[in-house]
């Protein structure tokens, strides 16, 4: 089917459809009204000729959200599900009362203008919208959009990598052994904090010193190797089952490490570090030490080597910064020497 403006009559739309399916005879109808209503009528015609799309189903976005979120929680990681909940707070006020077929490029652009200056966040929200519509299409609540949702331009900054000396100060400032083990898992094993807090005692093999990671981002299980430092910290509190890093106040894994890092950095007298910086540092220093990108991919658990290649960019950026500092240093030496020569001539 297709919807296009009438070539001779403004305000009218030409709709081509096939009552007996694609192999049958094509028919043409003329609709008077706005584009959104024309596309809505085209959708009804499509449902009438497609047994997979029931006629009585054409819900608003907001009416599908409860079922979508139940499905999403079953098929995505906990952190991803929470992120979706956050995205919906912005998406529902703008798109919630619309049926999927009434979403147009203009409506999407209006949303982008509302989120101007927050390109990365806006792109994440638009990707969430696409996931909702994909769900609706999969379960015959709607047809696909007739256009592609374009994302805003965004170039991720090169992560700032902390110096090993600062990381060591951070570790020493964490007094509780169990919490120090949390930091070491991110620094020595390059783990995401979300993967780390979901480690369970029954998934640790003390003989081989490995951890079976199941509740990971993207649901991609993998094996992590514990260091001797981590084993020494965990051994005294070893249990048969349960979460290793359980918050005693909730009985569940820690939901945030903000307080831990803020306090430790303050006691250590260093600039504030974030948990994910330790993962970036682990990948960067492993690459610099070995030059083996595949090894870094394995340690970090990246599904695609393309994701791991960011660490080659980090290494390149660190080289560029180092060369820039060397140029400044040489320039200062040259200026100092020139000043000394001038001073001698003046005498």
Between 202 and 334, name the one with better pLDDT. 202
Predicted confidence at residue 342, as pLDDT, reads 46
Question: pLDDT value at position 18?
Answer: 67
Q: What are phi and psi of 204, to 5 degrees?
A: -100, 125
Residue 88 CA to residue 296 CA, distance in Å, equals 35
pLDDT classification of 21: cutoffs 50, 70, 90: low
What is the rounded average pLDDT for all residues in the chain?
Answer: 85
DSSP readout, 157-205?
Answer: PPPPPPPHHHHHHHHHH--SHHHHHHHHHHHHS---HHHHTT-BGGGEE
Arithmetic mean of pLDDT, 216-237: 88
pLDDT at residue number 196:
93
pLDDT tier, 8 (very low <50, low <70, confident <90, very high otherwise): confident
- Low-confidence winner among 97-111, 148-162, 182-196, 264-278 (lowest mean pLDDT): 148-162
Q: Write out pLDDT tens, residues 295-344.
A: 989 888 888 888 888 888 777 777 677 777 778 877 888 777 665 544 44
| Cα–Cα distance measured from residue 55 to residue 39, given in angstroms and rounded to the nearest whole number | 15
Say what the pLDDT of residue 11 is.
84
Q: According to the model, what pLDDT value does residue 313 have?
A: 76
Per-residue pLDDT at 239 = 93
Poorest-confidence range of 46-50, 176-180, 336-340? 46-50
For residues 108-128, give the mean pLDDT: 95
What pLDDT does residue 145 have?
Answer: 93
- HSE toward the beta carbon, residue 310, CA cutoff 13 A: 18
Is the pLDDT at 46 greater than 70, yes or no?
Answer: no
The pLDDT value given to residue 49: 57
Q: Residue 74's pLDDT is what?
A: 86
pLDDT of residue 57: 59
50 has pLDDT over 70: no
Q: Are 276 and 284 in contact (CB under 8 A)?
A: no
pLDDT in the model for residue 344: 42
Q: What percent of the chain has pLDDT over 90?
A: 47
pLDDT bucket at 290, cuts 50 / 70 / 90: confident
Is the model's pTM score more than 0.75?
A: no
Lowest mean pLDDT among 40-44, 256-260, 343-347: 343-347
Specify the pLDDT at position 19. Answer: 64
CB of 1 closer than 8 Å to CB of 29:
no
Residue 223 has phi, psi (to 5 degrees) of -110, 135
Q: What is the pLDDT of residue 29?
A: 82
Residue 221: is its pLDDT beyond 90?
Answer: no
Distances (CA, A) of 203 to 36, 240, 243: 54, 9, 10
């Amino acid at each position: 089917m297709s919807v296009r403006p009438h070539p001779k009559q403004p305000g009218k739309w030409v709709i081509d459809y096939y009552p007996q399916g694609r192999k049958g005879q094509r028919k043409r109808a003329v609709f008077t009204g706005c584009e959104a209503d024309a596309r809505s009528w085209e959708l009804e015609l499509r449902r009438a000729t497609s047994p997979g799309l029931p006629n009585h189903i054409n819900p608003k976005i907001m009416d599908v959200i409860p079922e979508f979120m139940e499905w999403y929680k079953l098929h995505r990681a906990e952190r991803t599900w929470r992120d979706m909940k956050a995205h919906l707070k912005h998406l529902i006020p703008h798109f919630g009362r619309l049926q999927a077929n009434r979403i147009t490029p203009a409506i999407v652009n209006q949303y982008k203008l509302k989120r101007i200056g927050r390109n990365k966040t806006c792109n994440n929200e638009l990707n969430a919208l696409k996931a909702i519509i994909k769900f609706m299409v999969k379960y015959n609540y709607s047809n696909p959009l007739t256009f592609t949702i374009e994302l805003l331009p965004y170039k991720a900054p090169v992560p700032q990598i902390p110096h090993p000396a600062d990381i060591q100060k951070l570790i020493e400032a964490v007094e509780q052994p169990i919490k120090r083990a949390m930091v070491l898992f991110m620094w020595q094993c390059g783990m995401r904090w979300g993967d780390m807090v979901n480690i369970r005692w029954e998934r640790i093999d003390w003989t081989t010193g490995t951890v079976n990671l199941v509740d990971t981002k993207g649901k991609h299980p993998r094996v992590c190797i514990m260091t001797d430092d981590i084993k020494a910290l965990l051994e005294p509190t070893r249990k048969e089952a349960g979460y290793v890093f359980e918050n005693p106040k909730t009985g569940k894994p820690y939901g945030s490490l903000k307080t831990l890092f803020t306090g430790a950095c303050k006691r250590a007298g260093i600039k504030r570090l974030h948990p994910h910086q330790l993962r970036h540092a682990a990948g960067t220093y492993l690459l610099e030490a070995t030059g083996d990108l595949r090894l870094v991919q394995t340690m970090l658990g990246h599904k695609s080597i393309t994701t791991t290649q960011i660490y080659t960019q980090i290494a390149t950026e660190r080289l560029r910064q180092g060369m820039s500092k060397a140029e400044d240093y040489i320039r200062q030496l040259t200026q100092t020497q020139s000043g000394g020569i001038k001073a001698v001539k003046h005498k």
